[in-house]
Amino acid sequence: MSSETSQLHIFFFPFMAHGHMIPAVDMAKLFASRGCKTTVILTPANAAFFTKAIERSRNLGSEIQILLLKFPVLDDKLPEGCENVHLLTTNEMVQKFFDATAMLEQPLEQLIKDHRPDCLIADSFFLWATEVAARFEIPRLVFHGFGFFALCASVCMLEHKPYKKVSSDSEHFVIPSLPHEIKLTRDQVPLYVKQESEAANFARKIFKSEETSYGVIVNSYYELEPDYADHYRRVLGRKAWHIGPMCLVNNDKEDKATRGPKSSIDEHECLNWLNSKKPNSVVYVSFGSIANFNDTQLMEIAMGLEASGKQFIWVVRKEKQQEGKEEGLLDGFEKRTEGKGLVIRGWAPQVLILEHGAIGGFVTHCGWNSILEGVCAGLPLVTWPVSGEQFYNEKYVTEILRIGVAVGAKKWARFVGDSVSREAVESAVNRIMDGEEAEEMRSRARALAKMARESFEEGGSSSSDLNALIEELKLRRSA
Ligand code: UDP
């Protein structure tokens, strides 16, 4: 076999957060479906979330495996077993977590030495990964988990600092040099961008690493963000491949159900419940794996949902609620809405739920994976950004795609989010579920869902970009 045709071996090294690991495992499955050998590097506690999915892929003929890296122990300690961002509750813990992950450079180097992959696709948070790859003369590709719009907005914000030109936190400014006029307030700008701090330096280095690495893999499809896919490449000069939406690699129920942690509800029970509902009659409410609202906010959501009169599935993160309190907090609400609503405490089988015909809308914190999953299900969205790049994503959904309405969150705040009233929840939910505006948004979202599938299928833009990348990597190896 010539080296162009022999199998490529690719290492995937995601950051230890569900929103990073889930698409990384999808990406590994995707490359494996094209005949590559793929290895996902995970820490032991995180590997447990994916062993079933990976075993299943292997049984179906994919060459995919997990390799373990022990999560580093720090002297000033994170609690034992704290290997995933969803377990962090304070900014200090976040800092320690990053410090711990920085200690993975040498163990990663050892794994590469032992297994000699042809390419390393590593999370953007691992700044040092490019150098590790270079020591073995293999290319390092960056995976941020952002869409093109958020990538472009991030680069512009870090470069031009437009938030410095306004006199108050609530005054609007325009993000300069983008194809559309997009306005934000300083309150909505991520802390790691606007604060002159170590975190801001780190953020700057992350986006600089796009230029020093071999290129960037983007979980998006051209038709979703054409102006920004072009802007990112042509104006910002980045080398990028769009190969998404990668959630579409999971094409049967079992794949979708085993994507990430085990659901806290039996999938059949959940789907049976939805089967008893009319099309587009249930709103799905979830804020991803990190946002963690306080009791007051949970109560406002409950009251807003109840007042909307809509049927709902609401995912409430259980593990970080104060001991025993949450049960009591929502008891009365759950009794009153019995049959009309389902509260899932913990982890929901999100993709299975979203694509059920009974779901008519999605209240989301605007994590990019959730947005892609909502788009693939053809749903209008209520946007409720909390932190990360979510305020950028909100703008894209509401102002450019016009498939969503903003609930009115005004302030970037890690974990806890801005407070939103029950009236705002009620009004936004009603706007995406009923009436002409909702129908228009739904129809635009459905058109995007169709384009997502076409793009992902053979001959589509994502499929072609993936093939081109694989060919390039093979050629490079044989050069
Ligand atoms: N997710 C899920 N069930 C849950 C919560 C989250 O399946 O109960 C999945 C969701 O489908 C998505 C990922 O976890 O793929 C969350 O990523 P996202 O970028 O939306 O948000 P993050 O958790 O990173 O804030």
CB 4 within 8 A of CB 34: no
Distance of CA 99 to the CA centre of its chain: 22
Please state the φ and ψ torsions of residue 448, each to the nearest 5 degrees. -65, -35
* Closest to 170 (Cα-Cα) out of 433, 471, 408: 408
* Cβ of 429 below 6 Å from ligand 1: no
Distance of CA 261 to the CA centre of its chain: 15
Structure tokens at 27: 């990406």
CA of 374 to the centre of ligand 1 (A): 11
* Cβ of 265 below 6 Å from ligand 1: no
Helices 435-456 & 368-376, crossing angle to 10 degrees? 100
Has this prediction a pTM greater than 0.90?
Answer: yes
Cα(first)–Cα(last) distance of the chain, in Å? 15
CA of 256 to the centre of ligand 1 (A): 13
Q: How far apart are CA 35 and CA 26, in angstroms?
A: 15
CB 386 within 8 A of CB 268: no
**Active-site annotation holds for 169:** no
pLDDT digit string (tens) for 281-297? 999 999 999 999 999 99
- Among 15, 16, 18, name the best residue to mutate to test ligand 1's pocket (greatest count of ligand atoms within 8 A of Cβ): 18
Q: Enumerate the H helices of 119-147 as residue ranges.
A: 129-135
pLDDT above 70 (res 319)? no
pLDDT above 50 (res 321)? no
Please name the residue whose Cα sits nearest to atom 16 of ligand 1.
19
Please state the φ and ψ torsions of residue 41, each to the nearest 5 degrees. -100, 120
- Among 370, 379, 397, name the best residue to mutate to test ligand 1's pocket (greatest count of ligand atoms within 8 A of Cβ): 370
Please name the residue whose Cα sits nearest to atom 5 of ligand 1.
288
pLDDT digit string (tens) for 111-140? 999 999 999 999 999 999 999 999 999 999
* Cβ of 374 below 6 Å from ligand 1: no
Q: Is 308 helix (H, G, I), strand (E, B) or coil?
A: helix
Residue type, position 164, single letter: K
Helices 461-478 & 18-33, crossing angle to 10 degrees? 70
Please state the φ and ψ torsions of residue 38, each to the nearest 5 degrees. -125, 145
245: preceding bond cis by omega (within 30 degrees): yes
CA of 314 to the centre of ligand 1 (A): 13
* Closest to 382 (Cα-Cα) out of 358, 357, 365: 365
* Cβ of 367 below 6 Å from ligand 1: yes
CA of 455 to the centre of ligand 1 (A): 23
ipTM, two decimals: 1.00
Please name the residue whose Cα sits nearest to atom 3 of ligand 1.
348
Q: How far apart are CA 329 and CA 298, in angstroms?
A: 9
pLDDT digit string (tens) for 180-223? 999 999 999 999 999 888 888 898 899 888 889 999 999 999 99
Residue type, position 168, single letter: S
Q: How far apart are CA 283 and CA 384, in angstroms?
A: 14
CB 41 within 8 A of CB 11: yes
Higher per-residue pLDDT: 76 or 186: 186
Strand partners, 342: 313
* Cβ of 284 below 6 Å from ligand 1: no
* Closest to 313 (Cα-Cα) out of 271, 285, 276, 334: 285
pLDDT band at 320 (very low <50, low <70, confident <90, very high): very low
- Among 256, 369, 373, name the best residue to mutate to test ligand 1's pocket (greatest count of ligand atoms within 8 A of Cβ): 369
Q: What is the pLDDT of residue 73?
A: 85
Burial (Cβ within 10 Å: 0-12, 13-18, ≥19) of residue 285: buried
Select which of 9, 18, 118, 123 is catalytic: 123
- DSSP label at residue 338: B
CA of 355 to the centre of ligand 1 (A): 15
Give residues with Cβ within 8 angstroms of 244, minimum separation 6.
23, 218, 219, 220, 221, 372, 456, 462
pLDDT digit string (tens) for 96-105? 999 999 999 9
In 100-220, the DSSP E strands lie at: 119-123, 140-143, 172-174, 183-185, 215-218
pLDDT digit string (tens) for 395-445? 999 999 999 999 999 999 998 999 999 999 999 999 999 999 999 999 999
Q: Are strands 183-185 and 172-174 parallel, antiparallel or unpaired?
A: antiparallel
* Cβ of 84 below 6 Å from ligand 1: no
Helices 435-456 & 461-478, crossing angle to 10 degrees? 30
Q: How far apart are CA 236 and CA 200, in angstroms?
A: 20
* Cβ of 350 below 6 Å from ligand 1: yes
Q: How far apart are CA 345 and CA 271, in angstroms?
A: 16
* Cβ of 378 below 6 Å from ligand 1: no
pLDDT digit string (tens) for 149-171? 999 999 999 999 999 999 999 99
Q: What is the pLDDT of residue 324?
A: 54
CA of 19 to the centre of ligand 1 (A): 6
Select which of 9, 18, 20, 144 is catalytic: 20
Which percentage of the chain shows pLDDT scores above 70?
Answer: 97
CB 184 within 8 A of CB 150: no
Please state the φ and ψ torsions of residue 286, each to the nearest 5 degrees. -155, 145
Q: How far apart are CA 109 and CA 115, in angstroms?
A: 10
pLDDT band at 328 (very low <50, low <70, confident <90, very high): confident
Q: What is the pLDDT of residue 423?
A: 98
pLDDT above 50 (res 323)? no
Per DSSP, the chain holds a count of helices (H) and strands (E) of 20, 15
Q: What is the pLDDT of residue 322?
A: 52
